[in-house]
Amino acid sequence: MNKNKFLEVNIPKNKNFFYYLFGSILIILSNFLGQIPLLLFINNQISEVNDMSSIFNILGKNLSFFLILFPFLVSFISFILIIKLIHNQSLTDLTTSRKRIDYKRIIFSFLFWSSIILTLFLAGYLINPKGYILNFKLLPFLTLFFISIIFIPFQASLEEYIFRGYLMQGFFQIFKNRFLPLVFTSFIFGFLHYFNPEVEKLGLGIMIYYVMTGFFFGIITLLDEGIEIPIGLHIANNLVTALLVTADWTAFQTESVFIDFNEPNLIKELVTYLILVYPLTLIFFSKKYKWKSWKIKILN
């Protein structure tokens, strides 16, 4: 069986899964620690806070957005300390099988996915321009811009490091194959989005999208033997969406350029991404980076 260098060569110290479980608990605790500023801000209005949208209404969109993203910075710093002190690994070990992190892959995938989002938005706008309202206000947008470019890379990257890096390598220590770590991390990634407001709006069917997005990122990780591409895709998805267009039912409610008032269509979203965008993206990157031996890299 050909080795997947990302899973099988970057073997950490303390590779027993107990250490990964312990590390995961510490990451969760650090996230709670990072939420203290948010809790302090809403403490006086606790009777008015019923859900995420009420936080945005009470504190304002930019302050709320900053306070929601801040815990990810705390968790990211904790994550670096955890992998170093518990597993004796560097961030590079959790990023790639290559000698150095390939920033060109991150930048290219970021630009690629940004173009996809912009194309889909433009198509939707041309089809139904009345479904969007121009919301651009210079000062609030500039504040949002700086919050986003500083904190969203930490938030999106941390999710990739935890699921496609840390836990995928951890599950490999248990199962000694690649497919089961892919399955476990994809379902965990998907179900952690259960409390997103999108689930309440679109129903449990949206969980299919979240789980399959986990598979999409995971398959790329196994084929490319690193998480540089998923990091770029994930940052682009969250950053461009936060800046370009949001709706009153999404997890991110920001001072974006546009507000989307269209009624969401679950089937359209699933077909667009799961049937068209994700498969075509895999084919595109496969050609660009000359991925081979798909069956061995994913199933063995």
pTM for the whole structure: 0.93
**pLDDT number for residue 72:** 97
Domain total for the chain?
1
Nearest to 278 by CA among 134, 112, 80: 112
pLDDT: which is higher, 285 or 48: 285
**pLDDT number for residue 259:** 96
Nearest-Å Rg of the Cα atoms of the chain is 19
pLDDT > 90 fraction of the chain, expressed in percent and rounded: 77
Nearest to 96 by CA among 209, 233, 227: 227
CB 256 within 8 A of CB 245: yes
* Three-class DSSP category at 179: helix
Identify the top-confidence range among 57-61, 176-180, 209-213: 209-213
Distance from C-alpha of 292 to C-alpha of 219, rounded to nearest angstrom? 13
**pLDDT number for residue 7:** 84
Q: 37-57, pLDDT tens digit by residue?
A: 988 887 766 555 555 666 777
**285 lies in which domain range?**
5-299
Q: 75-131, pLDDT tens digit by residue?
A: 999 999 999 999 999 999 999 999 999 999 999 999 999 999 999 999 999 999 999
